[in-house]
Structure formats: C-alpha cells, structure tokens
Amino acid sequence: MRTQHANTARTAWLIIGGLLAVMLLFAGCGSSDDDSTSGNELEKVGKGEGSLSLVNWAGYVEPEWVKPFEQKTGCKVSSKVAGTSDEMVQLMRTGQYDGVSASGNASARLVEGGDVDPVNVDLVPNYKTIFADLKDQPYNTFDGVNYGIPHGRGANLLMWNTGDVKPAPTSWDVILDPEKAAKYKGKISAYDDPIYIADAAVYLKAHQPDLEIESPYELNEEQFEAAVNLLKEQRPNVGEYWSEAAKQISAFAGGDSVVGTTWQYQYFELQGSGKPVAASPASQGFLPKEGATGWSDTWMISSESKHPNCMYMWMDWIVEPKVNAQVAEYFGEAPAQSLACDQTEDKEFCTKYHADNPGFWKRVYYWETPLADCGNGSTDCKDYNDWVQAWTSIKG
C-alpha cells in the first residue's frame, strides 16, 4: 500500500515537472511571436488557384451568383456563415480563410491585428464605379490605405408581428422605453452582441440631448453608462437575444418574439413563408424616427490567404453590376455598385433602398469598432473591451 502511494506521488511530481518544463518552453518562445503582416499585395491578378474559402454574413454567398463565378474562374467557393462580427474576427484569426465580408465593427480589429492585407483597388476594375460616399471611409481605409471593396449597406430594422403589435411602431421606444416595452414583456427580441449598446446610444441621442452623444460608437463614461443602464432596464422585457439569424426566424415563426431589432434577411425569410410581420425597412422609405444603426460591409483579403488570385477575382465579381444587383436584391440592401441600379429586376429597387441618396444614410450609423480614441481629441471613450464586459453584465 505504501509503495503504491509513493508511486502515485512520484507520477504526480513527474506530471507537474513536465508541465513546468513545457511552460518554460512556451514562455521562452512567447516573445518571438511575430505580428508582421506578409504584405504581399498583388501586382497583377493571375490564374485562379482553384479554390476560395470565405467568411460571410448569411445571404451573401448564394448559388445564384457563386455558380457562374466558379464556372468563369475555376475557383471552387466554400462559405462559412458567421452570426456576429466577433465570430468573423475569430474565424479570420485562424488563417484558414481567404476573405471576409467584414462590417465596420470588425474591420478595424482585423486591420490592427494584421489579419487582413491592403487591397490594390487598381486590380478590381469594378471599383471605379462604386458609390463615392462608400469609398475611403474610416471602416475600410486606414492611414490612407484601402483595405477592401465595399459590398453594400443597410440599416438595422425594427420588425414586429402585425397581429400582436398595434399600432405600428414608428420609434425604437416600443422596445427601449421601459414603460412601453413592458407591454411586450418576454416577447422582445434583441441582438446578442456588444454592438447592440450602440442601438441604445442612438435612442438616447434623440431622447436625451443633454447627454450630447455624437457618434453612438464613441461614448464617454457618462454616455456609456446611460446606454448600458437603458439596456439593463430592457433586460427583463427581452424574450430572447438572438445571434444566429435562424434563431430569430424560429422565434418569430413560433410566436416567442413579436417585436425587436432585425436584419432584412430575417424579415424577407419570414415574409416569404407567409408570417404576419412588418418592418421599418429602408424600402418603405422610413427609419424609426431616431435613425438606426446599420452596416456597410467590405470584402477584405486575409493576410494568410492561400488563394489571393481567386480572392481578387471574387472581389471584382461581387461588385460587378449584374452580380451586385442580384446580391442586393436577394439580401435586401443598397448595392455598393452605382451601375447595379440599371441591372436590378425591380427597376425601382435603388430608389426604394436609397442607394444613391446620401442624405438618407446620414441617419444611419454604420457599425464601427469602439475605440478609446473618441475622434475629437480626447481619449476617454469606452473601448470595445469595455463594451464586451458591459454586455456580459447587461445579460447577467
């Protein structure tokens, strides 16, 4: 018995010793971790490498325009759908993908982390005719260097079940004002991502002008706290936080949620299957009166891409007038390509979605990565890390 105990003890010590040795080994290697970008910007698009793997939002990579691309270029496309920007960043950091349709709250992080490379826009012929107000924006151009090709843009929607929510809401107060929201207690649907704090900030910008919120992504201590508290008050009324589009679709279809924030994609899916839903889409010419958060997406190329030629061909393909029109109509967003407006099946599409109406987009606050640098000289804004921590405490 005694010898057995002695053996066990020895084994335990051996394991601990091994563990320590490995730790030392890694600690030694830790500092040599290089963060340099490979910076192999293409000079010329060559022959395709035969395959292409993408990280994208649901509805961006669909057979209708992927099949012709594969036939034309020989690049076999595989798509990985991500539900949130955080997920996109994580997936891109694995280095297994060639490109990503990044929103503004992911692009800065990807550039800073060296996960994506600059894009030589001269190699993307269709870039020239992209709407001017989408070019050289803070979420796709860093220090004057282009990091991607704009894909399309849209506003986040307020969706409701027309049978249960009457009268039709015209303001976010239906889900954010504690008293009004209580009417739909347990049936409210909210986006499960720290960036949702910006929705509260957009609401406060309109309803509490004394907070002096300018950008919903650049919030100081006081403004941030107000937004977080608003969401903490909303928490008991929320039936479900959604992060996958499929989750929200099933919640609205099953009657678990009747009102909440959504994307065009879910709205179209539900409408297509005959559910009694309405939304405040750009297509109906109206935003909730406070304005809305929104997205402007950019195709970016991974710094570890093994198929850069295919990726450049894809970036050109997706903003080709006909294809960009197809994508925009499928997803329900404003196309980035100005020539796409002549190619849409619905000839009024671009007017409905305000594609060439810069005034409309002034009230849409595209997702951005919150940084400590407020953009107005002071550096006391809450950074994304604070947003994540706050989001955890909001959900409890």
Q: What residues between 97 and 116 interact with another protein by CB under 8 A?
A: 109, 112
> Of residues 9, 19, 132, 145, which one binds another protein by CB under 8 A?
19
Contact at 8 Å (CB) between 104 and 333? no
Place of tokens 């967003």: 333
Q: Which of residues 222-241 bind another protein (CB under 8 A)?
A: 238-241
Contact 266, 244 (CB under 8 A): no
Residues in contact with 259: Cβ distance below 8 Å, sequence separation at least 6, in sequence order: 158, 159, 160, 161, 164, 165, 169, 174, 175, 184, 187, 188, 189
Of the candidates 2, 3, 28, 31, which one interacts with another protein according to CB under 8 A?
Answer: 31
Q: Which of 37, 170, 215, 250 binds another protein (CB under 8 A)?
A: 250
Q: Figure out which of the listed residues 69, 131, 353, 384 binds another protein, where binding follows CB under 8 A.
A: 384
CB 317 within 8 A of CB 49: no
Distance of CA 67 to the CA centre of its chain: 25
Shortest CB 88 distance to another protein, Å: 9
How far apart CA 134 and CA 364 sit, in angstroms, is 13
Instruction: Give dist(CA 181, CA 23) in Å, integer.
Output: 52
- φ/ψ bin of 261: left (φ > 0), alpha (ψ from -120 to 50), beta (otherwise): beta
First to last CA, the chain: 50
* Token code pair at residue 368: 């951005």
Closer Cβ to another protein, 234 or 324, answer by number? 234
157-186 positions binding another protein, by CB under 8 A: 186
385 is an interface residue for another protein by CB under 8 A: yes
Q: Name every residue whose Cβ is closer than 8 Å to that of residue 343 and which is 6 or more positions away in sequence.
A: 321, 322, 324, 325, 326
Residue 103's nearest CA partner among 126, 121, 122, 86 is 86
Among 1, 2, 3, 27, binds another protein (CB under 8 A): 27
Q: Is residue 391 a contact point for another protein (CB under 8 A)?
A: yes
Q: Residue from 247, 289, 322, 352 that binds another protein (CB under 8 A)?
A: 247
* Nearest one of 362, 366, 371, 108 to 220, comparing CA atoms: 371
Q: Is 89 in the site for another protein (CB under 8 A)?
A: yes
CA 39 to CA 24: how far, in whole Å? 32
26 binds another protein (CB under 8 A): yes
Q: Which is nearer to another protein, 148 or 239 (CB)?
A: 239
- Minimum CB–partner distance for residue 92 and another protein (Å): 9
Token pair 């678990």 in the structure block, residue? 256
Candidate ranges 41-49, 66-74, 246-254, 275-283; the one touching another protein (CB under 8 A):
246-254
Give the whole-angstrom CA distance, residue 63 versus residue 77.
10
- Nearest approach, Cβ of residue 307 and another protein (Å): 24
The contact pattern for another protein, residues 188-227, with x = CB under 8 A and - = no contact, is ----x-x---------------------------------
Answer for which of 78, 96, 273, 389 binds another protein (CB under 8 A) is 389
Which CB, 64 or 112, lies closer to another protein? 112
* Per-position x/- string for 110-149, each x denoting binding to another protein as judged by CB under 8 A, each - no binding: --x-------------------------------------
Judged by beta carbon, residue 124 or residue 195, the one nearer another protein is: 195
| Candidates 14-22, 57-65, 67-75, 204-212; binding stretch for another protein (CB under 8 A) | 14-22
Q: Of residues 9, 23, 132, 168, which one binds another protein by CB under 8 A?
A: 23
Interface residues with another protein (CB under 8 A) are 15, 18-19, 22-23, 26-27, 30-31, 86, 89-90, 93, 109, 112, 186, 192, 194, 238-241, 243, 247, 250-251, 254-256, 372-373, 379, 383-385, 388-389, 391-393, 395-396
